[in-house]
Structure 1
C-alpha cells in the first residue's frame, strides 16, 4: 500500500487506532491469522499498514511534533485531549493561560459549518470560538487577534515540520506514491 500524500497517511494512521473494536492497532492477531490462511490482503492489509505507520511515526518523530499531529488530526478523543493539554503548556505567548488554552483548543478543534455544530465532526460550543470570551483583562481587540494569530502560526509551523519529517520517514520506507511528470 502506498499513500497519495503525507496528510492522508497521517490521518489514516491516527484513525487506525479507532477503527477496530479493541481500541488499538491490533496487527498481531492479523499476522497470526495470515500465517494460517495465507497472505493479508485488502482492508486488512491497509489497516495493518496504517497501524505500522502509526507506530513508526510515533517512535521516530520528536515528541513535540507527534503531539502537534495528534492534536490536529487524531480522532481518538483521549489522545487528542492529552496532546492539546501538552501543547497548551509548551506554546510561547505573552497571552494569559486561559487565552492560550482557548487558542490551542479552537486551533485543534476548528469550527465547522453546520446547523449549531450538529455534524459528525467534534465541535465545541459556539461560545468557545468567540475570541472576546478568551480574555477578562480587557485587552484591545487587535492584541487578542495578534496573540491568536501568533499562537496558530506557531502551531501550524509545528504541524508543517511534523508533516515534512513524516514524509521523509514514509518516503524512506517506500510508502509514498511517486509523481512522474
Structure 2
C-alpha cells in the first residue's frame, strides 16, 4: 500500500495522477531528497509497490477523497493543484457562483481563474491578471483589492480545510507514514 508522508504529498500525487507513467526512473531520482542541502540518501526509498500498484493506490485514494470531501473543498483542491485543464475548468464553474464575496459575477469569475492559474509562462494572458480588467463598472481600486483579498481568502480557506480533512482521512485509513509504521 502506498504510504503518504502527509496530506500535501497525497494531494500532489492524486492531482497529478495523469503523469505517473510507471516507467523505471534512474536510481538517483529514487534516492534524491529535496532539502536545503539537496542531498542523496544512502539507500533507495522503497514502499514495496510496483509502479502499477502505486498508480492504482493513488487512483483509489483520489476516488475516496472525491467521494468524502465536501464539494467546495474537492473543487478548490482540483482547481488549485490539478494538472488536468478540464478538471480546473469544472472546478472554476463550480466555485465561482459559490464564492462568498461582495464582488459581482465577472469579478469573481476572473478572480477564481487567476487564483487557480497563477501567472506563469503559457498560462493565461498577462492582461488577464490586471485587476482593473476584472470590473466594468469603474469600481475604485481599493474596493477591487478588498474584493480580491476576500475572494482569495475564501478559496484559500477551502484548501486549508481540505488539507485538514485529507490528513484525517489518511490517518483513519492507515495511509500516513506514521500510522503505517
TM-score between the two structures when normalised by the length of structure 2? 0.78
Alignment of 1:102-121 (within 5 A): 102-112=110-120, 117-118=121-122
- Residue in structure 1 matched with residue 173 of structure 2 by the alignment: 173
- Residue in structure 2 matched with residue 2 of structure 1 by the alignment: 3
Runs of 4+ that moved beyond 2 A: 17-20
In the TM superposition, what is the alpha-carbon distance from 1:42 to its structure 2 partner?
2.2
In the TM superposition, what is the alpha-carbon distance from 1:8 to its structure 2 partner?
1.6
Return the alpha-carbon distance in structure 2 between the equivalents of residues 48 and 125 of structure 1: 36
Alignment pair present for 1:125 and 2:125: yes
Alignment pair present for 1:74 and 2:75: no
Return the alpha-carbon distance in structure 2 between the equivalents of residues 83 and 53 of structure 1: 19
Return the alpha-carbon distance in structure 1 between the equivalents of residues 67 and 18 of structure 2: 15
- Residue in structure 2 matched with residue 89 of structure 1 by the alignment: 97
Contact kept in structure 2, 1:17 and 1:51, CA below 8 Å? no
SS in 2 for 1:178: helix
Return the alpha-carbon distance in structure 2 between the equivalents of residues 5 and 111 of structure 1: 27
- Residue in structure 1 matched with residue 14 of structure 2 by the alignment: 13
In the TM superposition, what is the alpha-carbon distance from 1:166 to its structure 2 partner?
0.8
Aligned residues, how many? 152
**What is the root-mean-square deviation of aligned Cα atoms in Å?**
1.7
CA deviation map 1:13-40 (0-9, x unaligned) = 12214546xxxxxxxxxxxxxxxxxxx9
Return the alpha-carbon distance in structure 2 between the equivalents of residues 19 and 4 of structure 1: 18
Unaligned runs of 5+ in 2: 22-47
Alignment pair present for 1:43 and 2:51: yes
- Residue in structure 2 matched with residue 28 of structure 1 by the alignment: none
